[in-house]
Structure 1
């Protein structure tokens, strides 16, 4: 099972065990970003990424650096060079990416906390695929110094844990401004997106029973994907154009670099302008309800042998464009992989999401 690119430690008497995605600098280790040419061109990190300061201060042990999809680009979780982590719930299915190793390390009990990055769903998708909890943080809340950039205006760092309380512990380490949890959300806006399987929607509705739920919609949803593509590809090109056609770069990533080269300044400006309008639309809706609820994935995770047509980021990426936090957590359902509920909150509303997730976990256990 190819969970680790670099293994550092396996013991911490009484301490928290942490897995760090190999897109986040750890002092004394080369950051590979899951890419052979990046590894060959990189030097050993002389300092930890800024987001790890709380991890070190708490005395937690960094067990190692985990596998990811090359350069954080794909949401599948596979890696032809370093190996693909095996989904512990269903070995024939994808583990989800790009933070696949961190999610699998948590799901198998090797660590208490996994750290990943999320640009279009890369914390929430592997959490959903592996039956654990993942939190995409508000853009800018967790510092990005020393983190491999995919699209800097969308990238965030977030925690993965086996339950919501583990994510809360992770946020205490990641966010210096972490506050006491408020009361859970009172009004939940239920968002339904075309293309979700009926069984998934039913599991979400069942999990929300007992809460005040209102049906809501976001008229600008379908227009988010063009803006997302332009920003991700354009910023990927700006940050990493030197790797275009480099020896050892995978076909998928190289194709993304070629596409990024073709993103014109005008297309990127239009995408950034649309992002501002979309952020305003999402924020307005979150003044009418406390949180939004929808699935994380449209169906069970696809098999590793056939994932190309599965819309992995359909339900996650629009919230990266909005910059708001989103929590993915498993809820009871049939099948080897539980359905994942996605809760979305207002900017800097991670505490509200975690409080609501804890209340839901307690209710579902009962």
Structure 2
């Protein structure tokens, strides 16, 4: 099992209710080298002088950092593979990819080695591994959780988010990265059902049944600008990635796939990048307008089953996740009971800016309707002495 890049010693005492947190190795932990899953970065790095800012609440709550988890090199790929640091085995379906780039954090949670995993999400890197491993992942609103001390892929898209076994655990993770945050008092009143061409009809049926079981009011919605988002997002990721990491191009210890991405980023002109940023603003306005008509949106997280670990080339893993990174809005991926599928179908709920509270309230309502059991660590972890 290639889950961990670094393991930390367990606490001397193991108090009841201690929350175990796995940290993606793109997030600084004081005194530890951050590798970002790349040999070149590891070999140039020195131990972090301080924790990433997003870990302040984790420390204040007295949670235990179990270790730093593996990831795809430089956070680039949604597959979850890493030829140097190792690819974590999907515990739900060992013949299928674990999803990435936050693969180790999702697998650690799915195996019960951590209660909460922290990951980063630029095009789906929290939600995709959560979906592949049958757990819950929450992409937060862009800019909500500080990214100081976090390895940048594309700074105008990168966010931090928690992974957990169910929605209550994800809510507990949200409490850790934003102390004082709370779940909304009621779920969404109206759900916009978004259907994207190419998604598995059988998975769509599972999602429709879950929304009905929860008694949610559902109406069909469309986002006409959807198909134009992919080129826009690719341009921004490539351009920002190259501009942040020009010294890594052709460097020893950078894999050929990532090196190719760096070369593609170098070809993104300032004019092309500015055009993409302008197109992003139009897309954000479209999504905000749709979320003015309904409380949240619902669609699958993946277009189909996670691909086999031996046959994933060309799989459109980010097709249903990346457009919401471009919009900057929060999104929750949660598994649904779905017998007959190799891994549970993952429902993606998308909320308005700063609507994580509503997403979690709605996800909890769906879990209750589907009789998903409560977690051992429900709610927000208590701070020491409480």
Pairwise TM-score range, normalised by the shorter structure: over 0.9
Give 2:320's match in structure 1, choosing from 297, 308, 315: 315
- Does the 8 Å contact 2:331/2:348 carry over to 1? yes
- Which residues of 2 match residues 59-74 of structure 1 at below 5 A? 59-74=62-77
- Which residues of 2 match residues 147-296 of structure 1 at below 5 A? 147-176=150-179, 178-209=181-212, 210-296=215-301
Q: Match for residue 342 of structure 1?
A: 348
Deviations 1:104-157 (A, max 9, x none): 000000010000000000000000000000000000000000000000000000
Q: Match for residue 351 of structure 1?
A: 357
Unaligned runs of 5+ in 1: none
Deviations 1:309-353 (A, max 9, x none): 210000000000000000000011122300000000000000000
- Does the 8 Å contact 2:296/2:349 carry over to 1? yes
Q: By how many angstroms is 1:180 displaced? A: 4.6
**Matched residue SS, 2:198:** coil
- Does the 8 Å contact 2:183/2:358 carry over to 1? no
- Which residues of 2 match residues 26-45 of structure 1 at below 5 A? 26-45=29-48
Mean Cα displacement is larger for which, 179-188 or 163-172? 179-188
Mapped to 1, the partners of 2:116 and 2:171 lie a distance apart of: 10
**Matched residue SS, 1:365:** coil
Mean Cα displacement is larger for which, 191-200 or 169-178? 169-178
- Which residues of 2 match residues 61-140 of structure 1 at below 5 A? 61-140=64-143
TM-score (norm 2): 0.94
Mapped to 2, the partners of 1:310 and 1:148 lie a distance apart of: 25
Mapped to 2, the partners of 1:256 and 1:59 lie a distance apart of: 39
**Matched residue SS, 2:251:** coil
- CA distance 1:180–1:303, change in 2 (3 Å): closer
Q: By how many angstroms is 1:198 displaced? A: 1.2
- Does the 8 Å contact 1:28/1:47 carry over to 2? yes
The answer on 1:17 being equivalent to 2:20 is yes
Q: By how many angstroms is 1:160 displaced? A: 0.2
Q: Match for residue 141 of structure 1?
A: 144
Q: By how many angstroms is 1:167 displaced? A: 0.7
- Does the 8 Å contact 1:319/1:326 carry over to 2? yes
Deviations 1:15-39 (A, max 9, x none): 1100000000000100000001100
TM-score (norm 1): 0.99
Q: Match for residue 4 of structure 1?
A: 4
Deviations 1:281-332 (A, max 9, x none): 0000001000000000011100110101210000000000000000000011
Q: By how many angstroms is 1:358 displaced? A: 0.3
The answer on 1:360 being equivalent to 2:362 is no
- Does the 8 Å contact 1:76/1:94 carry over to 2? yes
- Does the 8 Å contact 2:171/2:183 carry over to 1? no
Unaligned runs of 5+ in 2: 373-386
Mapped to 2, the partners of 1:339 and 1:76 lie a distance apart of: 17
- Does the 8 Å contact 2:72/2:78 carry over to 1? yes
- Which residues of 2 match residues 43-58 of structure 1 at below 5 A? 43-58=46-61
Mapped to 2, the partners of 1:29 and 1:174 lie a distance apart of: 20
Mapped to 2, the partners of 1:227 and 1:182 lie a distance apart of: 36
**Matched residue SS, 2:245:** helix
**Matched residue SS, 1:181:** coil
- Does the 8 Å contact 1:9/1:61 carry over to 2? no
Q: By how many angstroms is 1:176 displaced? A: 3.6
Q: Match for residue 332 of structure 1?
A: 337
